[in-house]
Structure 1
Amino acid sequence: MQVVPYGERAALVDLDDAGEVVGLRAALSASPLSGVDELVAGARTLLVRFDPARTSFDRVRAAVHDRESGTGPTPGGPSIVVPVSYDGADLAAVAEASGLSVPEVVRRHSAATYTVAFCGFAPGYGYLTGLDPRLHLPRRAAPRTRVPAGSVAIAGEYSAVYPHQSPGGWHLLGRTPLAVWDADREPPNLLSPGTRVEFRVRS
């Protein structure tokens, strides 16, 4: 782990993988640092924004190292269940690429427990860790210009739910009627860093 200044009001923590980001963010959230205003998670980084009138970079760096060295299992965050109809356009191709049957792809994807590691790409788009390693596939060679809202997809080590219709290059496994982003709801996003997610096969 490396902690470096990011301007005068933030420290950038470089970590090995998204799982470490989730764990450190959970540890810092459970035991907040005085003067810290915000924690912003990325794929391999955690940005710690602080008020220089109340703390300093050196104090933040020391506290981050203390939390990191004592980090155990990630505490349970809020959890949601996402019902999925596994009828996605790429389901058969994913099965072929992974050497699994279609029912086995569905079983493995829906059996895992996921954690939102970070958000990006679009409002409400959560990158979920916990995907079965047999389903780790590179993005599609040719992205789609339109992916419907509610599409459940995988790419690399992540799974995701598209919150809006948008372009996208992930493999589509299915769809959910659950609105993971609703601007009229408070808060509008269901998928925030630390949230646990289960995908459940719709009957």
Structure 2
Amino acid sequence: MAATLHPPRLLPSGDSAVTVEFSRTIDDAANERVLALDKALAASPISGISETIPTYRSLLVHYDPDKIGFDALGEKLLALTGQSLPPTTKARRWRIPVAYGGEHGIDLEDVAKALNTTPDDIVARHAGGDYRVAMIGFTPGWSYLSGLDKSLHMSRRQSPRLFTPAGTISIGGIQAGIQCLAAPSGWHLLGRTPVRTYQLHRNPTFLTEPGDRVTFFAIDPKTFKELDRAAEAGEIIAERVDA
């Protein structure tokens, strides 16, 4: 879906936060502007800002109203977005193994039936994609991915599950995702990865970050178990291919 880019809008978000919105649709161009502003604020901090949270199409800015007011902050943010923002750094690229179908991807066959194709075709389409980590949210390490093949766009499940396992690789709407922790979900489960995008006592704690690129490749259940043991021990088993 092409983004409808517009001049940045400032949206009050409670009494100590403001949302800087760049678009009303999901698109890499809008996400690039979000990340560029986030980078600019990190390089040249505005006094009073306590935290920034990048999302698909907007940047949430938390601030201390005792140090800076909404109007003054808004002026500074709009002035910054009006400048030539620095480009984001070269994207890191990750290859992530996935055990598709069976007990690891319990919705794969249903997705194939719904899209009038075969499970192997769904795997080929999903693994053939080049995805962008647009944002991290919902639970620690949950990577929301843009770039899902249009042929895989489909409505979310009518009845969300109360539990889906850690490492789930799923699709929902026009999005794809990497779920690090066990959590409820209404997305369609295609497979699981042994990769931990979040591991509390590992360095780095978070594997992916907004702006990263991700591709997937299929593995069998035996390989999943082997890699899962290595990942549990703290090994980073995702392949970084940009270096």
Q: For this structure pair, what is the TM-score category when the shorter chain's length is used for normalisation?
A: 0.7 to 0.9
> Which among 91, 95, 98 is matched to residue 108 of structure 2?
91
**Offset of 1:173 from its aligned partner?**
0.5
2:140 maps to amino acid: P
Q: Which runs of 5+ in 2 are unaligned?
A: 1-7, 221-243
Contact 1:112 1:198 in 2 (8 A): yes
The amino acid across from 1:35 in the alignment is P
1:1-203 maps to which residues of 2 (within 5 A)?
1-6=8-13, 10-14=17-21, 15-19=23-27, 20-29=29-38, 31-32=40-41, 34-36=44-46, 38-49=51-62, 56-67=73-84, 76-87=90-101, 88-202=105-219
Q: If the length of structure 1 is used for normalisation, what is the TM-score?
A: 0.83
C-alpha separation in 1, matches of 2:39 and 2:177: 26
Q: TM-score, normalised by structure 2?
A: 0.71
**What 5-or-longer segments of structure 1 have no aligned partner?**
none
Structure with bigger RCO (C-alpha 8 Å, 6+ apart): 1
Alpha-carbon displacement from aligned partner over 1:57-114 (angstroms, at most 9, x marks no partner): 31211211334xx798x75322222101111111111112223322221111111111
Shift, 1:161, TM fit: 1.8
Work out the percentage of aligned pairs sharing the same amino acid.
34
SS of 2:196's partner is: coil
TM superposition shift of 1:170: 1.0
Amino acid at match of 1:96: K
After TM superposition, give the deviation of residue 30 of structure 1 in Å.
5.1
Q: CA deviation at 1:195?
A: 1.8
The amino acid that maps onto 2:36 is: A
In 2, the alpha carbon distance for the partners of 1:164 and 1:202 equals 20
Count matched residues: 199
Return the alpha-carbon distance in structure 1 between the equivalents of residues 90 and 131 of structure 2: 11
Assess if the C-alpha contact under 8 Å between 1:137 and 1:157 holds in 2. Answer: yes
Amino acid at match of 1:17: T
- Residue 126 of structure 1 aligns to which amino acid in structure 2? S
Q: 1:18 touches 1:42 (CA, 8 Å); kept in 2?
A: no
Please tell me whether Structure 1 or Structure 2 has the larger radius of gyration of its CA atoms.
Answer: 2
* Counterpart secondary structure, 2:214: strand
* Cα separation, partners in 2 of 1:7 and 1:85, compared to 1, 3 Å: closer
Taking the aligned partners of 1:195 and 1:45, their CA distance within structure 2 comes to 17
| Deviation sequence 1:131-157 (CA, Å, 0-9, x none) | 011111111112222211111111011
Paired residues of 1:23 and 1:71 also in contact (CA < 8 A): no
